[in-house]
Amino acid sequence: MAVKAQVVIGCQNAPMPSPNTERAYRSDWADFSAWCAARDRCALPSTPADVTAYVADLATKWRATTVRRRLAAIAARHRAIGLPSPTVDPAVKLGIARAERALRSRSHPTEPLGRGELQALVDALPDTTAGVRDRAIVLLGIGAGLRRSELAGLQVSDVRARAGGLLVRVRDRLGTVVRTALIPPGSSPATDAPSAWAAWIVISGLRSGPAFRTVDRHGNIGKGQMSDAAPAAIVKRSLIAAGLDPCRYGVGSLRRGLVLIAARSGLPDRGIAAQTGHKTLALVREYMRRDNLQQMNRMPSDPLPSEGTDVTGSLRRAEGG
């Protein structure tokens, strides 16, 4: 009775997971249960050896974030009925470390978007409310070198049209303005960020608040700010529609695309970092080094990836004052 009382008290004091977390845990637990059933093993309670084998199997197919979430679901299911979690066993922790090391060794940074890929991306976007929003997200993302959290955090008041293009105030996760980026007109109507932004403002009717919001299948626009993960999902969906490999490209391809476009135009690394908001020059220089190696290894008959939107003019103007 004392043990049961402790379990009840522990469950009452435990923080309640959000509905989204509960749904994810149910899905993750179902995956682990199916894995155990296929191997004639017991899922509840599970043993450290089985969990370690499961982690090793997951690492061959999924990212580290998925592996960690599945383990959290296993731990939560055991704790819910008063059982110790097998995920705290030293053998499991060692297996997790090995899996994450293997995942890091296989991971590859996303490639930058060139003009051809960017053109294909925007051409694949539908002529719908969501498609107009997505075009603005893609073109402002590459034009200002925005992170996904910066795209999600943009406010309508942060984007202002001017003769030279768009002036964009960029905020951090706390909402503080950390830099200003100038995006000039694009090299073609389809890749023109100022017109993409104007089209989104017209169709959305937004005058204040979050710049980019959710859009349901009926074209209804949400009221709140989209999550940090939303820009990545939007870019991934657009890449698939354009026939581009989402394993090679992602939302980071927008930011990297700006870095390489500017570098190929002869702009200094400090000016590039000022536009993208990199706090140190090390990562900018690493992107430039990788691009140089790719160009050196490219066959003479292979055309170099073209630049995307004409974003370098803003850097030159910014450096000139």
pLDDT of 3-46, one tens digit each?
Answer: 343 333 343 344 555 676 788 889 899 999 999 999 999 999 99
Task: Give the C-alpha separation, 142 to 191, whole Å.
Answer: 10
Q: At what angle do helices 269-276 and 252-264 cross, to 10 degrees?
A: 150
Residue 276 reports pLDDT greater than 80: no
Per-residue pLDDT band for 255 (boundaries 50, 70, 90) equals confident
In contact, 199 and 135? CB cutoff 8 Å? yes
Mean pLDDT check: name the lowest of 31-35, 67-71, 305-309. Answer: 305-309
Residue 107 is predicted with a pLDDT of 56
- What is 115-319's CATH number, 1.10.443.10, 3.30.110.30, 3.40.50.720, 2.30.40.10? 1.10.443.10
Q: 198, 225 in Cβ contact below 8 A?
A: no
Q: What is the dihedral of CA 118, 122, 125, 128, to 10 degrees?
A: 150
Asked whether this chain's domains 2-106 and 115-319 adopt the same fold, the reply is: no
Residue with tokens 């690493």: 286
pLDDT, position 182: 87
CB atoms within 10 A of CB 132: 21
When pLDDT is cut at 50, 70 and 90, the band that residue 287 belongs to is low
pLDDT band at 302 (very low <50, low <70, confident <90, very high): very low
What average pLDDT score do residues 169-181 get?
A: 88
CA gap 208, 130 in Å, rounded: 19
Q: What is the CA radius of gyration of the chain?
A: 24
Residue 175 confidence class, pLDDT cut points 50, 70, 90? confident
- What's the order of all strands across the beta sheet hosting 159-162? 159-162, 165-171, 177-183
- Asked if pLDDT for residue 195 goes beyond 80, the answer is yes
- pLDDT of 204 above 90: yes
Decide yes or no: CATH 1.10.150.130 for domain 2-106: yes
| Rounded Cα–Cα distance for residues 60 and 39 (Å) | 17
Run of H or E residues at 161: strand 159-162
Q: How far apart are CA 148 and CA 49, in angstroms?
A: 38
Q: Of 193, 205, 187, which is closest to residue 151 (Cα–Cα)?
A: 193
Q: Of residues 105 and 94, which shows the higher confidence score?
A: 94
Tokens 């795209």, located at residue: 151
Chain-wide mean pLDDT for the chain?
80
The domain ranges of the chain are 2-106, 115-319
3-state SS record for 88-121:
HCHHHHHHHHHHHHHHHHHCCCCCCCCHHHHHHH
d(CA 150, CA 162): 21
Q: Coil, helix or strand for 140? A: helix
Question: Omega of the bond prior to 45 within 30 degrees of 0, cis?
Answer: yes
Confidence of residue 271 (pLDDT cuts 50, 70, 90): low
Task: Provide the pLDDT for residue 305.
Answer: 37
In the three-class reduction of DSSP (H, G, I as helix; E, B as strand; rest coil), residue 283 is classed as helix
